Amino acid sequence: MSDAPVDANSTCVGPKSEQAGKASSCEGCPSQLLCASGEGRKEDPAVNQIKDAMRIVKHKFLVLSGKGGVGKSTFSSQLALALSLNDKIISKARQGQAAMDEDEDEDMNVTQVGVLDIDLCGPSIPRMFGLESQQLHQSNLGWSPAYYKDNLAVVSIGFMLPNADDPVIWRGPKKNGLIKQFLRDVYWGDSLDYLVIDTPPGTSDEHITVVQYLREADLDGAIVITTPQDVSCADVRRELSFCKKVNIPVIGVVENMSGFVCPNCKNETKIFKPSKSGGGEKLAEQFGVPFLGRIPLDPRVMNACENGKSIIEEMPDSPASQALLEIVQKVKNQTNHLHQNKTF
């Protein structure tokens, strides 16, 4: 396959080719000199370093959305929290019950979960876990994450700012540098079962960089979040095209803020109405990717999220928790399936 850029002419041999800059079609191309210098054939050493560093992580997924404020960070944190719960709590929660304290079993298999926040200009993940005052520490093994609990580690630029209100006014290359370091230099422990990567909105530097570095490192795929609105779906369509373009599998689409149940009269209103497009489900259908489910708006959920609590643990009876449980199960099934396919 040629690695020619998409906007190059059709006879471009691509910057990695032996013929780069020398082929007849290179005549007159503005990049001819750069290609001829052989720079394009040099592999970024970080790609392999990251591949090595990521060997200890079984499953990695990206949480993406073209649009901002649809709930990427909320979903990422709740997904991570749900993955970190033991089977007993999960099965209790399925019946709408909270687990008792004495249910805790010491020698159960513990799932190790990590969360990596690559939204560098607006990191919300520290807040979602109630870890705002934490800092990253450096040891000789690498950067050590902040721990929400023993089996849930969190890394974000939010832990590196001297003052929470400081803006991070960085252009792309600087952002790429930090993402590279996050992927390469964080010491997650001996092994991780899941790494959830929360991203900023859009399809720009952060996304290109993370995909570039993880493509070689067995990325399971992306979970794409949308709200039912047309405007959001339009942006998410672009995000799905992006996934297709850079060739990363889509684990599924989640529709967030699906409806609002009035706490007073229990009447449900679709605040963000799907008008023509039919929302997330239709979108998933059009792109031939799985639809994972809908999560309704619930002010109680919102509170739990902002206070860094797992909604599945705190309010298993809420429709939002039940929806999330379904989605988490589907994600688990999907990724296990993917993994089996890979090993054979």
Partner 1 sequence: MSDQVQSKLLKRMSTIKHKILVLSGKGGVGKSTVSTQLAFSLALSRKDIRVGILDVDICGPSIPKMLGIDKNEVFTCTEGWVPVKVKLSGDDDDNRLCCMSIGFLLQSEDDAVVWRGPKKHSMIQQFLEDTYWGDLDALIIDTPPGTSDEHITLAEILKESKPDGAIIVTTPQGVSLADVRKEINFCNKLGIPVLGVVENMSGFACPCCNEITNIFSSGGGRKLAEQFNIDFLGQIPIDPQLASCEDEGKNFLQSFPESASAKELENITNKIKKRITLL
Bridge-based pairing of strands 137-139 and 221-226 is unpaired
Q: Which of 202, 249, 278, 319 binds partner 1 (CB under 8 A)?
A: 202
Binding flags for partner 1, 73-92, as an x/- string (CB under 8 A): x-------------------
Kindly determine how many residues on this chain lie close enough to bind partner 1 according to the rule CB under 8 A. Answer: 63
Do the beta carbons of residue 259 and residue 269 sit within 8 Å?
yes
- Please give the full DSSP string across 149-189, using - where no structure is assigned: ETTEEEE-GGGG-SSTT------HHHHHHHHHHHHHHB---
Any contact of residue 234 with partner 1 (CB under 8 A)? yes
Residue 49 and residue 335: Cα distance in Å, rounded?
Answer: 24
SS3 333: helix
Residue length, the chain?
Answer: 344
- Tell how far CA 229 is from the center of its chain: 21
Any contact of residue 122 with partner 1 (CB under 8 A)? yes
Bridge-based pairing of strands 113-117 and 152-155 is parallel
Binding flags for partner 1, 154-193, as an x/- string (CB under 8 A): ----------xxxxxxxxxx-x------------------
> Which residues does residue 261 pair with via DSSP β-bridges, in sequence order?
268
| Residue 12 assigned as binding residue | yes
Residue 70 and residue 112: Cα distance in Å, rounded?
Answer: 27
| Residue 69 assigned as binding residue | yes
Q: Which of residues 295-334 bind partner 1 (CB under 8 A)?
A: 297, 299, 302, 306
Binding flags for partner 1, 239-258, as an x/- string (CB under 8 A): xxxx--xx------------
Q: Smallest distance from the beta carbon of 257 to partner 1, in angstroms? A: 9
Q: Which of 117, 235, 255, 313 binds partner 1 (CB under 8 A)?
A: 235
Any contact of residue 272 with partner 1 (CB under 8 A)? yes
| Residue 158 assigned as binding residue | no
Task: Look at residues 344, 47, 338, 301 and name the one whose alpha carbon lies nearest to residue 194.
Answer: 338
> Where do contacts with partner 1 occur on this chain (CB under 8 A)?
66-70, 73, 120-122, 124, 127-128, 164-173, 175, 200-205, 207-208, 227, 229-232, 234-235, 237-242, 245-246, 260, 262-265, 267, 269-273, 275-276, 297, 299, 302, 306
Task: List residues forming the annotated binding site for ATP.
Answer: 66-73
